[in-house]
Every structure is written in C-alpha cells, then in structure tokens.
Structure 1
Amino acid sequence: MSANLKRKAPEEDEPVKKVAAKVNTENSDEEDSDDGLQDIVDVDFDFYNPDDIDYHALKKLLTQLFASDAEMLELGDFADILIEENQVGTTVKVDDQKSDPYAILSVINLNQYKDKTGVKQLCTYLSNKCPKKNETMNKAVKKILSLSTDKHVGWVVSERFINMPVEIMAPMYTMLQEEIKKAVIADEPYAFEWYMFISKTYKEVTSTADEENEDQPEQKKLKTDINSETFYFQSEDEIISKYAEYQFDFKFTNSEKEQAADSRRAFSDFGIAPSRKLLLVHKSKFDDLVNEITKTCASTPAA
C-alpha cells in the first residue's frame, strides 16, 4: 500500500500531503429552499498515484470531459495510459487510496501512444474541429496533431468533479511540473514541444419559448448570442488561455444530445450552451503558466 502512496511533501519522512479546503455541499436543485443557506465543510484531500483500482473512475472523469461525444472515443485507452504511466500525474481522494478519485491531473505523450486507437481518434476528432477559415492556425494545429514529427505533444489531462475547490490545482500543477522535470532527467519521454489542453466552456443562452408554438411548449429551444462571453467551468483554464499560441472553440458533434442533457439543468428562461476549447501552449511558456496557476489558485493558509 505505502509503495503506491504519493509523498508530495519536501521531506522524505513526512506523511502524504493534504490540502484543506472548503467544499460547498449545497444541492443546486434546491436553490429556493433553506433561504439559500449553504453547508460548508472542511475536507482534507490526499494525493495518490493513479492506480489500477481507479480505472473506471478515471474513465468516468474522461467521459465527463467529452460529454456527449465520449462515445466517439476509446476512453479506456487513456485510462490505461494514465495508470501505466503513473510516475507522472496525481489523483485526489478524500477517504483512502481505495476510494474513487475526485480529480485527475496528468499528462499523456500522444506521440508515444500514437498507435493507440483512442489517440488516433482524439487527434482526428480535434483536427476536424479546427476552424478552416483560419488557414494559418488550421495548418499549424493539424501539423501538431498529426504526431508526425519528433516534436512531441503532451495532453494535460485535467478533470475534476464540479464541486471540487480550485485550491487543489496549485499543488497538483506544482507536482506535475516537478515530475515532468524528473522524468526528462531520467530520459523518459516527457520532453514536450507542445502542451495540449481541452477546456470545458459555456455561454449563457436564453429561451426562445415565446417565439415557438404556444401549443407545443415542450419544443422550447435555447438561443445563443454568438457575441456573448465565454465562461470556463474550471477557472484556471482562463489562465491557460493567456499562454496558448493556438486556441479555438468547438461544439460537440452530438450537440443535440448535449443540449437535451443541459435542458435538465437549465432554469425556465435561461440555461447554458456547453462547448469545448482546444489550447496549445509552447514549452517555452509552460513554466510561467504553472507558476501563475499555483500563485493564483493557492489556498490561503489556515490561521
């Protein structure tokens, strides 16, 4: 057991590092109850290497990332890689090592695993999403995702449950940065030219029910303003976007399924239109990116 435990503290003999953070346990479906009161609890988060026992939970987190398009990708391949290459990457748990992870931050060398079905599907999927009207970016992105050169691409896999506090990302990114550097020194395949991020985004949408047939209210549709602001589900992604040399928004291929799912979360007059953003960060900016994330997301030390 202890051999698989990630010891993140500076001292060898210090126990597994924990991060204390406040978690909002309020049920979002009960906003009108209890006068809007929220239950706040203190939770200690433990960091562990990805382990065989995490396979299904990691696959579930990846399914959450790709939403309605998850069925288009062999996500089990990525779960296998995250577990196999567990010298780099961290899961977050709240009970013990046998419990399911609430978050994952790791990196996958897409070039190293380019023959895997899941990797082939992912690169094709993202290449097809790249806007054709921007010829310069389209050409550059497709060349990077072709994995045909010796300039390797590392997909930074970052996903967590929605109620997980952003404070956990500060130590996780610091650990990832340190582990990548150690792996490179050990001549392992973690020397990346590009770091790839897939960010979860959304825009606010308004109901067009009044414009529809009043006899068919179930046909309510949601309308997105193309000029409306883009929001990030994970706030650190806004920092990442500042360092990206190439980035573009894209919609789900199975957008109808995603809109149907979102309608269950939307209020009567307003909802969200979820989408994704691909970001490619050059290696020269990765350390600065990590430093800003750790500085911005770091939790305030307890008094």
Structure 2
Amino acid sequence: MAILKALVVDDASFVRDLVKRTVRQRFPVIETTDAPNGRRAQSLMTASSFDLVLCDWEMPEMTGLELLQWMRQQPKYQSVPFIMITSRGDKDHVIEAVREGVSEYLGKPFSPDGLSKKIIKVMGRQLKEAMDRGGRSLSGPADAFKESAALLTQKREAPARNPQPEPQSPLLQPQAPKPSAAAGSSSAKFSSRSGNKGAMSMASVRFSESTLASVVKDINLTEVRVIAKRDQLFPGILDQAVVDIDLGDGQMARLNGYVHQLQAVDKRQDTDFVSVTVRFVDEDPKKLEDLSRFVARFRAGGR
C-alpha cells in the first residue's frame, strides 16, 4: 500500500517511465504520478499534494526551474524535496537551481542506484518510517536501503574490494570531456570509411557510467548513428543516453535518447570500430529546432 506520493515531470515519456519503474521497484510505498511539463505538473500539485518531485529542467510550456520557483512560493511545498533530473550539468545552471531551492541534482543519464540514493538522501527518515509502516525490509543485497544508514548519517562505509564507478552528482562532476587528441586522430579514419568529404562532426554520447567519444555518421530527427573506437566502454541495448552535439557559437544541444543498436563497422571479429545508434526521445520543440538546424548543417557539409 502506497503511503507517500511522488510527481515525475519530464517531456520524454521514456524517461518518465524509467523514473517511475525505479521508484516502484525500489520504494513500493511511494505512489507515482507523472506530467509531461511544468504547466501540467503545476495543475496536479494545486489539486493534490505530493511528498517528492522529480523533475526535468528543459521542457515546453514551463521549465523545471520555473516549476521549482513557483513551488517554493507555495506554503505546502516550501520544504518538499525537489530533485532536478537533467542533462544540464554546467556550473551556472547548478548554482541557479541551488539558489532557487533545489534539494538535489541528478545528471542524465542516471542509474537506478544513483536515483535511489538521491531519493533516500532527500526524504531521509520520512521514507524510512514509511517503509517500516509498509512492512518492507530495510536490508538485502538488492535493496536500495542497504546504504541508507550511511546516507542518513552522512557517514561513509568502507569501500568494496572491487568497487564499481558510481556516477557523480553534477554538483561535483565536471563537464563531459571533449574528444581527446586520440579521438581526433581517429576521425580521419572514420572519414575515409564514411565517404563524407565534409568536416567531421564530433559527438560525446553520455551513459550512466561512461562517456563515448565518437563521430557522427548519420543523423535525422529521430536518431543518430555514431562511430566510436572499440577500446572504449560501450553501453547495452536500451541504455539511457545523452548526445552532446556542438551547434556552433558556443551552443550545445543535449539530446536524450536510448541505445537502439550496436553493430561492428567491419565484418571482422577484430574490427576497431563500432557503430552505435541512439534513438531520440525528447518532445521539447526547442530541442527539435536545435536538432533540425544541426541536421541541415550536417547534410550540407556532406555534399
């Protein structure tokens, strides 16, 4: 039986489903409701009450930041935890969100463990007591509460013998690294394989535990196909992804998606290159406009 209520706000239904699934599996005492943008979320929050808000930043009609600003002006929501889940991790945006009263900041793509720890951190004993009342176990190898004591007391547990890398909060995480010189030298090889005589477009494809330096092979309004060297850490099918594309003039498009296909470039077992297709899930008109501009420029460069 649900005891707490959470509102999940994101213009991409794929992301909303990921968040709701994680909450449902890890915290069965939390009932989730979702909204495609801040305006709809505002309406739901006015008509009902929520104990937690998990929200994207960039959305049509009303952004996550605008929803946060409105929320902190409402007496019943002044102290309700608000987790911003977004691909915007640059310092200025983080500082702006902190000033407006954000409780935590989680970068996309996120892992279920990363999201669970943020929820535990912001809800604290309210969540623990709800789990107790719901008769749920607070321990177990796959239980999200196995580190709850450390999180609630701000103490660190001894590191595991072979710890897996954990995605850092964007509050502490630097920008995704630019393609290295090695990646740059690889682009010439990519160019000769692709037959594209225009300037190659580099892209960073971010996953929950890695960033893939790659070259754009093809792109349209629904998906992008990139080529990356095999010696990097690759994702799995259906893993979340954020594709960072340089639009020029200092602007960066951050497009949310998921891995649709992984394929060897050559029909050889020892091929050096892998093709990765990422399907986009954003429904924000501004992002689609940015993508359209890049597609047009990409096509013109390949003539």
For the superposition of Structure 1 and Structure 2, which TM-score range results when normalised by the shorter chain?
Answer: under 0.3
> Which structure ranks higher in relative contact order (CA pairs < 8 Å, sequence separation ≥ 6)?
1
> TM-score normalized by structure 1?
0.27
Structure with greater helix share of residues: 1
